[in-house]
Amino acid sequence: MSVQLSDSLLAEEVIQAASRYLLHLQHAEGYWMAWLETNVTMEAEYVFLLHCMGRCNRDREQKLVRHILAGQTEEGAWTLFPGGPGDLNCTVEAYLALKMLGMQEQHEPLAKARNFIQNHGGVECTRVFTRMWLALLGLYPWKSIPVVPVEMMFLPRWAPLNIYDFASWARSTMVPLSIVMSRRPVFPLENGLSIDELFVREQPSPPLRGEDGWERFFRGIDELLHLYQRFPFHIGRKSAEQKAIDWILRHQERDGNWAGIQPAWFYSLLALKVVGMEKSEAFRKGWEALETFGVETDDGRWWFHACISPTWDTGLSVLALTSAGLPSNHPSLLNTGNWLLQQQIFVHGDWKIRRPKAQGGGWAFEFMNDCYPDLDDTAVILMALSKLRLPDEERRKKSLTAGFQWMTAMQSKNGGWAAFDADNITSLPCRIPFCDFGAVTDPPSEDVTAHVLECYGMFGYDEAWHVVRRGVDYLKRTQQTDGSWFGRWGVNYIYGTGAVLPALASVGVNMKEPWVQRALDWLTGHQNEDGGWGESCLSYADPAWIGRGESTPSQTAWALIGLVAGGRANTPAATRAVAYLRNTQRSDGGWDETLYTGTGFPQDFFIGYRLYAHVFPLIALGRYKQALEKR
């Protein structure tokens, strides 16, 4: 038996077990959806929201306590990702939530957390969002928090800092927040509960950051806005508030959610409450829908999803199973195909602002998020549907055409594709004092662009088409000097590089060209001794961690996908990667992955996609086996 055939048979054993396991995870309706884990601020802010709404859930309180405590580290902190350093914002919010849930401050978990907080600058050094929640609860002065004026709703779309200059996730958060911050409500805690012990200085002052001229300018504007806030009257504010309320109501989804994400949802509910709309149908639907994001575990914990990912999980699962050799007309895939067709979005969302001539046809990450279909999901779903054969082939082809046209229309001027918008690249929103958190704009990224190009290649397009050629040129420009690519939505350079290489191969780029070979060499040079690949979330802040970290199934799969695409399936690096995946596979066919390999906002918000450890190894192994059998 040849070495190639032996390796192929070994991969087949792993593939069959993994396929059975993934099929077992499918929901009856045809979709896949696994847990999406983030950090403790989700549960803490749920506790805060309950208080602001004057509601309580006694049965849930101890389950929340158990979940919050489960994430505390030995030093007393809470982290943004497993194994990461203690995070001040997470720790302050967890500390307060535990006190509100009845824990006494002398209790050991709070004593350890308090020590960490005091040693890291105290409450005064937390982000704007954390201090804003404290202000809502009467624990921090509103005057010390940067202003988001509701009057920004009057800015025309051509004006700098209009709401459409912000990314979709920032926009859907800041519009309701502008109402809340203009009203400055306070919902005092019972029995004088406070966190005075967490302040290091007597008078709270906002943390300063390195400033350039623009940031000094906007800080001066913020001081003027605070002064204006103290005026007894505010010209046009009532009209501005009504414009913001109308915007919120227009952007509520059919099931009651806003933007499919926790921040936009929570703040929209708060905005409706402070303007007296707590008894409205919009509020009722929004509040009831919150329950769909909660998870109760078998060990008695309760936690809150930041988001859910059925469309994304389903598209990746189809790609995994078809790569593994599951027939395109398999009953499970027929069910999935029909479900995916039903999820396509033809109504106009915020993307229409910058692409007014385009027609709908994309897919969103969640069950219902018609306002914000995204390019990553759309590319993956189009690839998935291209692998299927459905009873209604005419409908499938029309769906593919509409998705293809929308995706093409969303190309940005620099040749790349962003997640939700086109040409959302202005830097001014990042300079205002309020925006001290995460990414607030949505410029094109290497990984989304790669998925779009890989999709085009599956439909037979190459660099002869100007759209593809501009996309490839964008990837050439954004390649790092070491040969890798940055990962915006996955950790990190392994994700970016593992996405770009199959995209280049798909659209017919010569994989022997030096710039492509540098990327392949970079991957090979970062393989761990155990045969896997890993990269810490720390790589976004510390270059020493780029391409380095404990091996994980998903990151190993991304690297293997890249090697196979680059013609290196029959190499020791690929063989060792397959051995790693085989050796770490569970007896039920799945893999364990406790580390986070998903990215929400680089440095600020990370995601543990529970399904990544199962779908990406299956995609990689399927492509590996196919490559060996072609030789």
- Please write the tens of the pLDDT for every residue from 61-101: 999 999 999 999 999 999 999 999 999 999 999 999 999 99
Closest C-alpha among 363, 79, 127, 428 to residue 263:
127
Count the residues in the chain.
631
The per-residue pLDDT for 147 is 87
Segment 578-613, tens digit of pLDDT: 999 999 999 999 999 999 999 999 999 999 999 999
Contact 463, 469 (CB under 8 A): yes
Q: Do domains 3-37+307-630 and 41-204+234-280 have the same CATH topology?
A: yes
Contact 147, 434 (CB under 8 A): yes
Decide which of 1.50.10.20, 2.70.150.10, 3.40.640.10, 3.40.50.11260 is the CATH code for 3-37+307-630: 1.50.10.20
Closest C-alpha among 573, 566, 602, 595 to residue 486:
602
How confident is the model over 339-360, as a mean pLDDT? 97
- How high does pLDDT run on average in the chain? 94
Other CB atoms within 10 Å distance of the CB of residue 310: 19
The per-residue pLDDT for 1 is 36
Q: Using the structure block, give the residue that is written with the tokens 């593919």.
A: 400
Q: How many CA atoms lie within 13 A of 417 on its CB side?
A: 30
- DSSP label at residue 434: T
pLDDT at 133 > cutoff 80: yes
How confident is the model over 215-239, as a mean pLDDT? 76
Could you give the dihedral angle defined by the CA atoms of residues 216, 445, 549 and 89, in that order, rounded to the nearest 10 degrees? Answer: 40
The per-residue pLDDT for 5 is 47
* CA 311 to mean position of chain CA atoms: 13
The per-residue pLDDT for 4 is 54
Among candidate residues 313, 376, 377, 436, the one labeled active-site is 376
Least confident of 212-226, 256-270, 296-310, 544-558: 212-226
Amino acid at 626: Q
482 is catalytic: no
Question: For the CA atoms of the chain, what is the radius of gyration?
Answer: 25
CA distance 486 to 556: 16
The per-residue pLDDT for 479 is 99
CA distance 164 to 133: 25
Contact 94, 78 (CB under 8 A): yes
pLDDT class of 456 with cuts at 50, 70, 90: very high
What φ, ψ does residue 501 adopt, rounded to 5°? -60, -50
What φ, ψ does residue 73 adopt, rounded to 5°? -90, 175
The per-residue pLDDT for 233 is 73
pLDDT class of 436 with cuts at 50, 70, 90: confident
How confident is the model over 295-312, as a mean pLDDT? 95
CA distance 387 to 389: 7
Task: Give Dmax over CA atoms of the chain in angstroms.
Answer: 87
User: Token pair of 329, please?
Assistant: 């007309």
Predicted structure pTM score: 0.94
pLDDT at 480 > cutoff 80: yes
Segment 156-203, tens digit of pLDDT: 999 999 999 999 999 999 999 999 999 999 999 988 899 999 999 865
The per-residue pLDDT for 206 is 54
How far is the CA of 55 from the CAs of 40, 46, 296, 425, 593, in angstroms?
Answer: 20, 11, 19, 41, 36
pLDDT at 2 > cutoff 80: no
How confident is the model over 6-32, as a mean pLDDT? 91
CA distance 266 to 248: 12
Beta bridge partners of 303: 295
What percent of the chain is modeled with pLDDT above 90? 87
* CA 132 to mean position of chain CA atoms: 22
| String of DSSP letters for 262-299 | HHHHHHHHHHHHHTT-TTSHHHHHHHHHHGGGEEE-TT
- Listed by start position, the domains of the chain span 3-37+307-630, 41-204+234-280
* Whether CATH 1.10.3470.10 fits 41-204+234-280: no
pLDDT at 213 > cutoff 90: no
Tell me which H or E stretch contains 379. Answer: helix 375-386
What strands, in cross-sheet order, belong to the sheet with 36-37? 36-37, 605-609, 598-601
The per-residue pLDDT for 544 is 97
Q: CB-based contacts of 153: which residues, under 8 Å, 6+ apart?
A: 163, 175, 178, 240, 243, 244, 247
pLDDT at 131 > cutoff 70: yes
CA distance 294 to 247: 26
The per-residue pLDDT for 425 is 93
pLDDT class of 56 with cuts at 50, 70, 90: confident
Tell me which H or E stretch contains 600. Answer: strand 598-601
Segment 504-538, tens digit of pLDDT: 999 999 999 999 999 999 999 999 999 999 999 99
